[in-house]
Amino acid sequence: MKKYTYYLFAFSLVFSFLSFCTNKGGYGEVFPFYTWRLFTKPSGTSTTDFRYKLYGVSEQDTVRLTNTESPLFDGNQKESMINNLGSKIDQNRNDADSKVKLYHFAKVIEPNYQKYLLVKESFNAQKIDEKDFKINTEIISELQ
């Protein structure tokens, strides 16, 4: 196994970089482990984790859009797209390009809503099975 370690490392490095480039271009990942946070955020390094979620708004009803499998995208692709664009919008609230992209993406996956809300949900993943587990929500942007 020791003689293959160099090759495994080089393979992982090259394909992770390739996945970074294809993800940036909107084509998805080539290397299935790229979006795993195994190396960038191993368990226990931080107590707060967060996810970005989309909510559809129609008249008086607000519904959280689920990242389930659809004919165009699987759940992981939806999650990745929402988190990538959501973090860009969260870092720069005036990023009109990312807002337009996320709005069009939302219209493709769930076209039945008039507008959408981008919400940041933060929580302590280490307390997920305890009684005092809380999810804090913050509306980041309204997309229409």
Instruction: Tell whether 71 and 126 lie within a shared domain.
Output: yes
| Lookup: tokens for 37 | 């946070």
Segments forming the whole domain that contains residue 18? 1-40
CA distance 81 to 26: 8
Instruction: Tell whether 25 and 95 lie within a shared domain.
Output: no
Instruction: Tell whether 35 and 58 lie within a shared domain.
Output: no
**How is residue 47 annotated by DSSP?**
S
Instruction: Tell whether 60 and 88 lie within a shared domain.
Output: yes
Per-residue pLDDT 10s for the chain (144 aa) are 677 888 888 888 888 888 888 877 777 777 766 666 565 555 555 678 889 999 999 888 899 998 888 888 888 899 999 999 999 999 988 888 999 999 999 999 999 898 999 999 998 877 778 888 898 999 999 998
> According to the model, what pLDDT value does residue 69 have?
84
Instruction: Tell whether 127 and 100 lie within a shared domain.
Output: yes
Instruction: Tell whether 31 and 57 lie within a shared domain.
Output: no
Instruction: Tell whether 78 and 125 lie within a shared domain.
Output: yes
Instruction: Tell whether 10 and 70 lie within a shared domain.
Output: no
> According to the model, what pLDDT value does residue 44 have?
54
CA distance 45 to 110: 35
Instruction: Tell whether 123 and 105 lie within a shared domain.
Output: yes
**Cβ-based neighbours of 137, under 8 Å, separated by 6 or more:** 119, 120, 121, 122
Query: Would you give the distance in Å from CA 43 to the centre of its chain?
Result: 18
Instruction: Tell whether 27 and 90 lie within a shared domain.
Output: no
pTM score: 0.67
Instruction: Tell whether 89 and 111 lie within a shared domain.
Output: yes
Helices (H), the chain: 5-24, 75-91, 96-109
Q: How many domains does the chain have?
A: 2
Strand ordering across the sheet containing 135-143: 61-64, 49-58, 115-123, 135-143
